[in-house]
Amino acid sequence: MNCAECQDIIHAYQGDELEEQLLAETEAHLASCPDCRHEAADLLASLARLRATFPDQMPPAALWGKIQAQTRKQETT
Amino acid sequence: MSQSPSVLAPQEGQRQESQAVGFADVFDDYQRPIYNYLLRMTQNHAEAEDLTQETFIRVHRSLPSFRGEAKLSTWIYRIASNVSTDHFRRGVTQQAKAALSLDEMESEGEWLGDGVSSSPQQLAAQSEMSDCVQRFITRLPTDYRTALVLHDLQALKNREIADVLDISLSTVKIRLHRARKKLREALDTGCDFGHDERNVFFCEPKAPSEEGRP
């Protein structure tokens, strides 16, 4: 695997979506290539920033009641 | 009705999809991931609530005809994505008006511009989020935003996103790759990062460079 191939699939590597053989090739390349390791670390950091910006939130408690009211209205018409 | 404890959609197999599923159970399992998906797309609590409501009304209408050809989660995300797309096509949001095409973004090079006006609800929501990343997401074209949010925030796999959006796997990868590339560029060039005294992550626009000033 060369750097271009590695950087092409580094997103899938971070997303844990690589097949076994490709995963092994990617990890072997990362172990030997500081540039691609840096690229992978950068990607991971930006994803962490993204996730920190959008924490999971609870939906409003009134949502179920509103949906029930709407669906009941539909059923009676 | 109980609140779903899970942040993400339930694991496949947790609920037998071949058997009839009740609407209340479906709502219980998916209200949180769908609400968060739509909140991350709109960045507006009121809009996210309205779109979540519309999504589950459509789910309620179509659930009796759901035959399990797709995974239940895929099917529900597809409905939510259609609701979201309809919403942005109507152009009712400030985000939709502010979103640039990728070409425009590349030529303008202004990832972090101030061209977005906000409603009071948006301002309230924004105060809880990091402005830089949020502004970047707001200005990302809807197709790219959808791929980024589904993959990196909703934790869907590429294959699932392809099924949800009815696009090829390679298109998903291209959109995701470009969106992440632009996110990194925006973060690297326009933002300062750190943790405040409460160890809460923050991100704010970089101060203008002193270089080149008289």
DSSP string, A5-16: HHHHHHHHHHTT
Q: What is the structure's pLDDT at A39?
A: 82
pLDDT of the residue at A25? 86
% of residues, chain A, pLDDT over 90: 17
**ipTM of the modeled complex:** 0.78
Q: What is the pLDDT of residue B97?
A: 47
pLDDT over 70, % of chain A? 95
Low-confidence ranges of chain B (pLDDT < 50): 2-9, 12-14, 16-19, 96-97, 100-129, 211-214
- Please give, rounded to a whole number of angstroms, the shortest distance from the CA of A63 to a CA of chain B: 7
Identify the band that residue A15 occupies on the pLDDT scale cut at 50, 70 and 90.
Answer: low
Kindly list the domain boundaries of chain A, sorted by start residue. Answer: 3-76
What pLDDT, on a 0 to 100 scale, did the predictor assign at position B16?
45
Higher pLDDT pick, A49 / B111: A49
pLDDT at B113: 36
Residues 6+ apart with CB under 8 A from A32: none
- What 3-state DSSP class applies to A2? coil
Q: Is B118 exposed, middle or buried (0-12, 13-18, 19+ CB in 10 A)?
A: middle
Q: Is B133 within 8 Å of A17 when comparing Cβ atoms? A: no
| The pLDDT value given to residue B140 | 83
pTM: 0.72
**Spatial CB neighbours of B152, under 8 Å, sequence gap ≥ 6:** A47, A50, A51, B176, B180
Nearest residue of chain A to residue B152 (CA atoms):
A47
The residue extents of the domains of chain B are: 23-205
Chain B residues in contact with A57 by the CB 8 A cut-off are 35-36, 39
Topology at the third CATH level for domain B23-205: Butyryl-CoA Dehydrogenase, subunit A; domain 3 (1.20.140)
Determine phi and psi for B126, rounding to 5 degrees. Answer: -65, -30
pLDDT at B57: 95
Higher-scoring residue by pLDDT: A47, B167: B167
Chain B residues whose CB is inside 8 A of the A54 CB are 36, 39-40, 129, 133, 153
